[in-house]
Amino acid sequence: MKWEVRVAYRRGVQDPEGETTKSALEMLGYGCVEEVRSAKLFIIEGECTREEVEQMCRRLLANPVSQEYEIRRVE
Protein backbone atom coordinates (compact mmCIF):
# COMPACT_ATOMS: atom_id res chain seq x y z
CA MET A 1 0.00 0.00 0.00
CA LYS A 2 1.04 3.55 -0.55
CA TRP A 3 -0.28 6.46 1.48
CA GLU A 4 0.18 10.14 0.89
CA VAL A 5 0.04 12.40 3.91
CA ARG A 6 -0.22 16.10 3.25
CA VAL A 7 0.64 18.39 6.15
CA ALA A 8 -0.14 22.10 5.84
CA TYR A 9 -0.35 25.09 8.15
CA ARG A 10 -3.87 25.86 9.28
CA ARG A 11 -5.47 28.96 7.79
CA GLY A 12 -4.60 31.92 9.97
CA VAL A 13 -1.27 30.42 11.03
CA GLN A 14 1.84 32.04 9.62
CA ASP A 15 3.54 30.10 6.85
CA PRO A 16 7.10 31.51 6.74
CA GLU A 17 8.22 29.35 3.83
CA GLY A 18 5.20 30.33 1.75
CA GLU A 19 5.78 34.01 2.50
CA THR A 20 9.49 33.88 1.70
CA THR A 21 8.75 32.04 -1.54
CA LYS A 22 6.18 34.67 -2.52
CA SER A 23 8.68 37.50 -1.89
CA ALA A 24 11.36 35.72 -3.88
CA LEU A 25 8.99 35.16 -6.80
CA GLU A 26 8.00 38.83 -6.75
CA MET A 27 11.65 39.85 -6.78
CA LEU A 28 12.15 37.60 -9.79
CA GLY A 29 9.40 39.58 -11.55
CA TYR A 30 6.37 37.32 -11.13
CA GLY A 31 3.82 40.01 -10.33
CA CYS A 32 1.03 37.52 -11.03
CA VAL A 33 1.56 35.76 -7.70
CA GLU A 34 -1.04 36.69 -5.08
CA GLU A 35 -0.35 34.07 -2.46
CA VAL A 36 1.96 31.14 -1.87
CA ARG A 37 1.27 28.48 0.74
CA SER A 38 3.65 25.67 1.49
CA ALA A 39 2.89 22.13 2.57
CA LYS A 40 4.75 18.91 3.19
CA LEU A 41 4.08 15.51 1.70
CA PHE A 42 5.08 12.18 3.17
CA ILE A 43 4.71 9.18 0.91
CA ILE A 44 4.54 6.10 3.12
CA GLU A 45 4.86 2.63 1.64
CA GLY A 46 4.06 -0.54 3.53
CA GLU A 47 1.22 -2.65 4.83
CA CYS A 48 -0.08 0.06 7.17
CA THR A 49 -3.76 0.63 7.85
CA ARG A 50 -5.45 4.02 7.61
CA GLU A 51 -5.79 3.99 11.40
CA GLU A 52 -2.04 3.52 11.78
CA VAL A 53 -1.34 6.37 9.37
CA GLU A 54 -3.79 8.59 11.30
CA GLN A 55 -1.86 7.78 14.46
CA MET A 56 1.47 8.57 12.80
CA CYS A 57 0.10 12.00 11.89
CA ARG A 58 -1.06 12.70 15.40
CA ARG A 59 2.09 11.40 17.05
CA LEU A 60 4.81 12.56 14.68
CA LEU A 61 4.06 14.03 11.30
CA ALA A 62 1.83 16.99 12.12
CA ASN A 63 1.70 19.55 14.89
CA PRO A 64 -1.98 19.67 15.86
CA VAL A 65 -1.71 23.24 17.14
CA SER A 66 -0.58 24.78 13.87
CA GLN A 67 -1.00 22.15 11.19
CA GLU A 68 -3.68 20.04 9.62
CA TYR A 69 -3.24 16.82 7.70
CA GLU A 70 -4.96 14.90 4.96
CA ILE A 71 -4.43 11.21 4.24
CA ARG A 72 -4.95 9.72 0.84
CA ARG A 73 -4.36 6.16 -0.30
CA VAL A 74 -2.62 6.25 -3.68
CA GLU A 75 -1.89 2.56 -4.32
Residues at the site binding a copy of itself, with contacts judged by CB under 8 A: 6, 8, 18, 21, 24-25, 28, 30, 32-49, 52, 56, 59-61
- Separation CA 24–CA 52 (nearest Å): 38
How far is residue 63's CA from residue 61's CA, in Å, rounded to a whole number? 7
28 vs 65, beta carbon nearer a copy of itself:
28
Q: Within 10 A of 57 (CB to CB), how many other CB atoms are there?
A: 20
Minimum distance of a copy of itself from residue 66's CB (angstroms):
16
Residue 29 or 65: which CB sits closer to a copy of itself? 29
